[in-house]
Structure formats: structure tokens, C-alpha cells
A and B are shown apart, each in its own frame.
Chain A
Amino acid sequence: MISVVVVSHSRALADAAVALAAQMAPGPDGPRVEVAAGLDDGTLGTDAAAVAAAIQRGDEASGHEGVLVLMDLGSAVLSAELALELLGPEVAGRVRLSPAPLLEGLVVAVVSARSGRDLGEVAAEAAGGLGPKTAHLLPDDGAGPCPEEPSVAGPTTSPHRVDAVELEVRGPHGLHARPAARLVACAAEVAPQTIVRVRNLTSGRGPVDALSLSRVATLDARQGHLLLAEASGPRAREVLESLTELARDGFGDLPRSGAVAEAAAVVDTTGGGVAGSGLDAAVGPVLRLDARLDGHGIPAGSVAEERVRWREALREAGERLDQLAEQARRQLGDPAAEVFEAHATLLRDPELARDVSRRLVEGQSAATAWAETVEATAAWFDQLADPYQRERAHDVRAAGERVLRLIVGAPEPESLGEGILVVEELDPGLAISLDPRAVRGVITWHGGETGHGVLIAVSRGVPVLTGEEALRDVPAGTTVAFDGRSRTVEVDPGEEVLTAFEELLDHRRRERDLALETSATPVVTTDGVPLRVRANVSSLAMARLAAQMGAQGAGLVRTEAVFGHCLQAPSVDEQAQVYGEIAAALAPHPVAIRTWDVGGDKPLPFMPTVVEANPFLGTRGLRAFVHDPRLLLDQLEAICRVAAHAEVQVLFPMVTTRSDVDLALTLLREAATRAGGDGLPPLLEVGIMIEVPAAALNVSALTEGLDLVSIGSNDLSQYALAADRGNGDLAAWSDPLEPAVLRLVRATCEGVPAGMPVGLCGALAGEPGLAGLLAGLGVSQLSAVPAAVPLVKERLRAGSMAGFREIAERALDCPDAASVRALLGQHADARRRESVSARPAGGTAR
């Protein structure tokens, strides 16, 4: 058993601390605790010679197993270090100087040493001795995780430092999950027994244990921050050198060559392409993940049993995550794989393990101990300033959930049966990994329609219904039928309702098949009016998919998504290449490239995020480039180059006033000159996004000098209705079919000069049932997710412009969104009755 030495300025203080610790480990079988405190004459102070003697006594008592030295402050630390020098390297090699606060560290060390842990383990546990107190106090003060030194002490006062290096955080996202995981892995690999502590010199957070991913991530280290890594022990220098090297590479987070091509090639949001039914409706038994699996109230067995249960689940979850990472790497590339790898690293976090161990010893069940530890850790992330870092709370919960499932024997997310998945929220990870052949549809009981996960699922053709609070507690196995288009859901439906749904599905399936057959043909209404249906694309792969689906060009190329994987701004050459390939994929139709739309909920890795009280009303879109237009100029130059030989439209986002348009045109002309042209390229058309109500109402003043406008209906409705589109609680206020929103669409269509095309590229355009209404309001180009293109085209072909206008007029007169939906429902029924007579097998909706 190792020994412990207490070094203090005060003999009385040391003796009292030892007595307190002895209470925790009573009896003769505790470790030897030697004291070196005060001077011989009773004054306060420390004596390196006395410390050396105490260490020597401890070393002998431990049978040379090792000595952990705990110190109070100032000279105690210096004296202990000098004592090691006096003792010589052989003895010093068996001694650890603990950075722990004296009392907390001593109590933990005595308990831990008594249980037979070796020096490294006791040292690690003692170093975390402040954890429980910090955790206890944190919710009130919100301070950093390890405030053991007052902040006025400044960054370099750490008295226990033996060796230290400064590390600069160069990656654009700071030390987020993946680079943090690499730091932990590096420290663990080089010298697992060496205590390495890291603090953020810039923000003052820390220090934290470098072996703990959860703690490292709480440093909130962002690009440009300076970290101080401190290590003590024989291999300190070695591990610090490795960390220095890792930091030089941006913790593995700086762009590698070819990253742009890779980014453009990855099907970033569509996963395995359109594999779902695309019918917007589904019938089947409820599948549940029980997203909030409750680990509480589960009776605990013996501490040993619970420990085995927990260890076993942890091991199994780790193996499964390794498999998933491998699978993701093959199918989706490195970035996707690293999400799973980061989860696996989180599970191996010694800080979590310590916390769980402590709870197990207190008699909690494995499930409860794990659930509470995970939640406490996630809470750390929740309170971080950087939104990107805050999202890591979700990683912690997701990784934690996987282990909890194994502990309580619930099925893991990947092995679901066939049916309809009911979850709280559809996160992007689940949306991309779920098997659309088995999961016929997804119902969420929280969250809005435009969440990222929902968009991914929809673009994969998986029917989704959001915000169905009533289904929160529906048990697994219950039969459910739902229709996303009419937003109806039936729980445990009777024979009659079930038959109606089956007929609806049958009808849609035939309509879809017909639409797919005719997807390549252009759209002309029955009364001869030509319309365009284009696609929203976020990658080259999606552009190719859109072309297969018969899209007449791209109505919106989301450039910030196309290059969302790039950690440094893509060069003009790289952008020109990617835009050129997207244009070629959809040729001969034009592609509308929207310039960087940053801000709000869309961070761009290579653009510094401005922290704003109200980002959606802040420096979004074009506004972000007023002071420093360099990134925008590069992009415009690339667009101009492509427009020299391909039909390209450029769209400026978040335009509000005429001076925005003037700025955009000035920058565009400058970029055209840089691209070597004489004036704007002949194949380039210039347009603006209409997303701000002010722009919709003043559109006639904005369109001078422009060729087209495109309505961003998601933003336009959230700004008109003053309801955050991502907030499921505001669903009652955020229906884009509110007549006020439709009037803004109408105002836009009426305000533009005669003949100027008006596009619409929000979620509305992807709903086949709304295509006629939008055309009737005056929208001439709808831009939808690729999967919806055939059906939207089919709907527009099936009606007359006169009929669409009539519907639009009646919708504008409706008092609210519900009335508009009812109106459209009646119209759909009437249309279906027509189609029933035309196609005998058709059915009714309900």
C-alpha cells in the first residue's frame, strides 16, 4: 500500500487534516500518513529537509510502493520539490507531488490508497478531489469546473507546475469534441500515469484533467485561445512535447489537402439518397427509443454487481461505437466517423468513471449512477458560451443513452424493428442513420418542422410528422397511422380508418410512380402556362440527384452547406470548380447560387461567429460582409468565372434595403473585374432573396438592376410571424400558411417589374399540396427538395393557372392558417374525386 505525506506550513493544520482523513478510513489498515509541517521552533513554515525525511519514512513504510505528497500552498510546494532533489532520482521516482487541494486530496488519497490502488490511481483520484465540491456549487455560480485557485492569481501562478507548455488553439471551431478527443487520446497514449492538467489562459477556465474529455471540453477553448498544459512526473516532458506537436497540427483539425473536393463529394445531408417511401404518410406499429430512458428508481444490487453491470455495458457500447465509426467512415467519410469516435472517447473518460464509481459506492444502481453522471456532465456543456460547444451536451447524452440502454437491457437505436418511430426530437445523427426501409415514418412529440434532422429525413423520403405532443406516451407496438400533408394522426385506428389510410397510401404510391415516370417532362398547366420546378441543393451529389428527379435547375445552392465541411475558406479556384460541376450536373438549366448565408443558426466554420444577443435579427447573410467583404468577393469571383460558360444566377441573402442591393451590385462588379471580365458575365443573372418582410413590401424599389428574386419562405414567415422556426413550442404561431405570409408572397409577386421571375425556395415549395396555391399567388419557379420535385411537377401539370389563381384569392381572404388548410383540403378532395373517376383504384383521405 502506498504512503501519503502531508506538507503544511502549520503543524496544527496538518494534524487536524490527518485526523479528519482518518475518520474516512478508520482502523489499522489505512495507509501510512507522514507529516512535515511547521518549523522546529513552532513557527509557521516548511522545511525541505523535514519533507525529505517524511518522504523517506513513507517510502519505507510502503515497501517502496510509492508516496503521494499533498501540500498546502506556496513554500510547501517549493520545499517538496526541493526535497525530491535532495532525495535523489531513485526515491523521487517513487514519489508524486499532488496538485490537489490539501484537505480534499488527502481524504480521497487515504480512502483510495486503503483500497489498494497503485500510486498512479491514487494520484489521479486525489487530483479529482475537488470535483464533488465543484459539482455541488456549480449550478449556483456557473464558474469553471475547477476553481481551486483564485482567478486573480493569474495564469502562471500554478505552484505545483513541474513542466508546462503553452498550446495555441488554431482550429476554427476551437477545441470542440473531435480535437478535444485527440488531445485526451494523445495524453492517454503517451503517458497514462502522468498527471496532465490543462487550463485556458484566455478565458481563465480550468485547470482540468487532460485525460477527461468531458472536462477538457468545458475549457470552452475557441480559435485563438491559449492553453497551458502542465504535467508532473517522469514522463512529463515527453507528453508535453507530444501535445505541442498535436497543437501545431491544430489538434488534427486543420484542413488537409483535398478537403474541398471531399466536402463537395460527400452526400452531406441526404445520407443514402432517397430511400424512404416519399409518401409523407405511413401506417405501422410504434417503435420507441424512449429517448428519455429513466435510469432512476432501479433497485441496486451489491456494489460489486452494479460495478460489473456498468463496466460490461460500457465495454459493449464502446465496441459498438467502434463498429459504427468504421461503418460511417466507409459510407459517409471521416467527419461522420469521428462523431462516433468522439462518443467512444467520452465513454472512456476517467472523470465520468470516477463520478460513477463514487455513486456506486454510495449504493446507487448502475443505471442511476450512470444516468446522473451523464446528466451532470451534459449540464457542464449546456452552460458553455460557444453554441458549437454547447451542442456537445447532446453528444454526451447520446453516448450516455447508449450505455444506459445496455445497462437496463433496452434495444439500441440501430436495431429497431419495422414501423413508425416515435421520438422526442429527430436529431441529425438519428435522421442520417435510421434505416428507411424499416422505419416507415417518424413522429416527434417536440421540435419544429424545419429542424435539421427533420430536413434530412424528409430529403431521404422518410415521412415525418412533428410536434405531436399527444403521442408522447404512446406505448411501443401500438398501431399508428399518420399523414404529414394534412397533419393528421390516428392512434389505434379502427378497420375503416385503416382502410382509408391504406387507400391513401396506395393512391400516393401510384401518383408518385406516375410522377417519377413523367418527371423529365417540363411543367405546363392545363391552360398552357409554363412553370419551373427546381431543386434546393447542398452538395454536388444532391445536384446530381436533383437532375435525376427532373429538377429544372437549382433554385437554391446552399453554398454554406456545400462547403460546410471545410475548416478554412475554400479558394476561388476550388469554389469555381465545385460550382462548375454543380452547374454541369443540372445543365442546360440554370443554377441559382446563394452567397454565404451565415449567422442566425448557420455557423460557417471558416467565418468567425459574432456573439449577438439576437442572432436571427443580427448580422446575417449579406450583412456579415459589410465591413470585411473579402470572403464574399472571393465567392463572387468564383461565380463570375463559372458564369463565363454556364447559366448561373447569383442570389444575395438577407437583403433588407436598397443600399444592400447597391452594395451587392458594387461587390459583384468588383468581383467580375477580378475574374477578368469586362462588366458582368453574359450568362450571369443577378437576384436577391426575399426573406425580410420589409424587402417583400418594398420589392419594387429593390429590383432595379436585378434579373430575378427568390422568396425564402422559411425566414419570411418566421420574421412575419415573429416566431422562431426551430422552436417547437411556437408551432401555433409559425404556420407559414398564415394569410399574412401569403400576402407578403403576393406583394412580392405584384411588386416586381412585369416579366421578372419570382422563385420560392423554402419548405413550402416542397409540399405538393401547396404548389397550386403558390403558383396562383404569382410564384413562377418553385424550388423544392429533390425528392419532392416529381410530385410538385405532377400537381402543377394537373391543374390550370385559372384554378390556381382562384384558390390563391380565396386563401388570401381566409382569416387564419387553419382556414387556408381547410380550403386546400376541400380542393384536394375534389381533385381526388376527379382522379378517382379517372383512375378507378383511387380512395379517400380519411
Chain B
Amino acid sequence: MADLESFRAWVADASATLTDQAEHLTDLDRAIGDGDHGTNMARGFAACAALDPEAGYNGIDAYLKMVGMTLVSTVGGASGPLYGTFFLRLAGPLAAADEVGVHQVGQALRAGVEGVVARGKAQLGDKTMYDALAPALEAFDEASRDGQDLASCLEAAALAAAAGRDATEPLVARKGRASYLGERSAGHIDPGASSATLLIEAAARTLV
């Protein structure tokens, strides 16, 4: 079971990891985008990690909404509204719960990923964060159906996300700034899929 503290730990872990990986993400983005993904993500999550624990939110859903709005206002690039939407939607199925289990987290992940798709209108293979999030969600659901616990489900999701991320390398981008490069976008791992994988990996370490 995960409680508010687990979710705060997730965001703190994500912030640390993204700060750590900022340069790597920015390098990826420089190859096929505008080269600001690492700094944007690190800035946004740092702002989230710095949210005052006493500042007027109670409950997991309220916290996640605040994280979403903070990302919206601080990330800057397209990842802002996309990850912002992810966290805002994540909050929905977790309303009025102090502790959540495998089933609710699964529902929340689904809502979050669907929010990303609705916002970005990406499809599988478009070389976007969705290429990591979709297999992660699928693996989570499968592990959940097998009756595994939250930690194992998230572990499976993280592995699937990494595989999905790696599979973006040969793809030609059809969304976002990278799509302006056309064929030239092939041969590089997508930075959005990379940051999404880092986020799921952080969840696997913390939401237990």
C-alpha cells in the first residue's frame, strides 16, 4: 500500500534522478529537439519537490493535482502540459484515499496515460513519451492480473518502460519538435520516453 508519504517520496526521487540525469536528457534532446528537456524537467520537478508539506493540501489526490499544476507552470516546454496532465489525471481515481493499493494505482496510471494521449494525440511509434508509458501500463496491468503486489507491478512497469524507451531509437518522430526533422530523427532515443522511464523507475523505488 502507498500513502501520501510514498507519493511525496516518489516526487522527491524523481526530482533527484532528473537533476542527476538532466545533462543526459538534454543531450538526447539536443540531437532531435530544442535541447532543453533535461533542464526543463529538472526545474519542474525541483519545484514540485520543494512544495511545502504544510501548504494546504490533504490527501494524495490534492497533492498530485498540486504537482500537476506546478509542472504546468514551471516546465515550460511541451512536457509541461503533458506531465502536468499526467499528474492531474493521476489524482482522479485516488480521490479521498489515504492509502492506495495495486488496483487503484493501476487505475490512476491508466487515467494519467490516457490524459497524455488526449493532450498530445500521440500514437504508438510516434517516438514520444507514450512509447514508454504505454508498455509500462500494459506490464503493470498484466502483473496486477497475475496477483502480484504493487512493488512487483511497478517493477514490471519500469522494465517495460525501459524497453519501450530503447525501442524509440530507430523510429522517425511524428510528433513534437523532433518531427520537423523527419527521417533525421531516426537513430536517437526519444528524450520524452527517457524521462517517462525515469519517472516510472522512481515510482518502482518509492510507491511501496
A binds B: yes
Give the B-binding residues of A (Cβ under 8 A): 9, 39-40, 43-50, 74-75, 78-79, 81-82, 150, 152-154, 156-157, 161
A44 contacts B36, C-beta separation under 8 Å:
yes
Q: Which B residues, 77 to 129, have Cβ-Cβ distances below 8 Å to chain A?
A: 77-82, 84-85, 119-121, 126
Beta-carbon contact of A78 and B119 below 8 Å: yes
**A48 pairs with B179, CB closer than 8 A:** no
Is B69 a contact partner of A45 (Cβ separation < 8 A)? no
Question: With A39-B73, A46-B76, A49-B69 known to touch, is A78 a contact of B81 (CB < 8 Å)?
Answer: yes
A48-B84, A75-B80, A82-B119 known; A154 and B179 CB under 8 Å?
Answer: yes
CA distance A43 to B175 in the complex (A): 23
Which chain B residues border A152 with CB–CB below 8 Å?
Answer: 179-182
Is B72 interfacial (CB-CB < 8 Å)?
Answer: yes
A79 to B177, CA, bound (A): 15
With A47-B76, A154-B174 already in contact, 9 other A-B pairs whose C-beta atoms are closer than 8 Å: A39-B74, A44-B36, A45-B75, A48-B73, A78-B80, A78-B82, A78-B120, A79-B80, A152-B181
Contact A82 to B85, CB < 8 A, known contacts A75-B80, A152-B182, A153-B179: yes
B73 A40 Cβ-Cβ under 8 A: yes
- A47-B121 contact, Cβ under 8 Å, with A78-B78, A81-B81, A154-B182: no
State whether the Cβ of B187 lies closer than 8 Å to any Cβ in chain A: no
Determine if B176 is an interface residue (Cβ-Cβ < 8 Å). yes
B182 touches A44 (CB 8 A): no
CB distance from A226 to the nearest CB of B (A): 15
Q: Please give, as numbers and ranges, the residues of chain A lying within 8 Å of B78 by CB-CB distance.
A: 74-75, 78
Residues of A within 8 A of B75 (CB): 45
Instruction: Return chain B residues, CB-CB under 8 Å to A153.
Output: 179-180, 182
B40 touches A (CB below 8 Å) = yes
Cβ contacts B5-31/A at 8 Å (1 or 0 each):
000000000000000000000000000
A47 and B174 contact, CB distance less than 8 A: no
Roughly how many angstroms separate A662 CA and B181 CA in the complex, as a whole number? 55
Closest CB pairs A-B (n = 7): A45-B76, A75-B78, A152-B182, A78-B81, A82-B81, A48-B72, A47-B73
Q: Is B174 within 8 A of A157, CB to CB?
A: yes
Q: How far is B73's CA from A45's CA once the two chains are assembled, in angstroms?
A: 9
**Which residue of A is nearest B177, CB measured?**
A74
Which residue of A is nearest B123, CB measured?
Answer: A156
Question: Could you say which of B69, B81, B121, B174 contacts A75, with CB atoms under 8 Å apart?
Answer: B81
Taken together as a complex, chains A and B put the C-alpha atoms of A403 and B18 apart, in Å, by 66
A–B Cβ pairs within 8 angstroms, 16 of them: A40-B73, A45-B40, A45-B75, A45-B76, A47-B72, A47-B76, A48-B73, A48-B84, A74-B177, A81-B81, A82-B85, A152-B179, A152-B181, A157-B174, A157-B179, A157-B180
CB of B68, distance to nearest CB on chain A (Å): 10
- Report the Cα distance A75→B41, complex, angstroms: 14
Q: In the assembly, what is the distance between CA of A277 and CA of B78, in Å? A: 75
CB neighbours (8 Å) of A48 from chain B are 72-73, 80-81, 84
Contacts A45-B75, A81-B119 known; A74 to B176 CB distance under 8 Å? yes
A754 to chain B, nearest CB (A): 69
In contact, A75 and B179 (Cβ under 8 angstroms): no
A361 to B185, CA, bound (A): 46
* A39, A79, A81, A156 pick with most chain B CB within 10 angstroms: A79
CB distance from A805 to the nearest CB of B (A): 73
Answer whether A82 and B180 are a contact pair too, CB < 8 Å, given A45-B77, A75-B77. no
With A82-B119, A156-B174: A75-B182 Cβ-Cβ less than 8 Å: no
* In-complex Cβ contact of B80 among A47, A150, A154 (8 A): A47
Chain B proximity of A39: nearest CB distance (Å): 5
Q: Which residues of B contact A50 (CB under 8 A)?
A: 73
> Roughly how many angstroms separate A78 CA and B128 CA in the complex, as a whole number?
15
Chain B min CB distance to A573 (Å): 46
Chain A residues with Cβ below 8 Å from B174 are 154, 156-157
* Complex Cα–Cα for A82 and B121 (A): 13
B72 contacts A49, CB within 8 Å?
Answer: yes
A74 to B80, CA, bound (A): 11
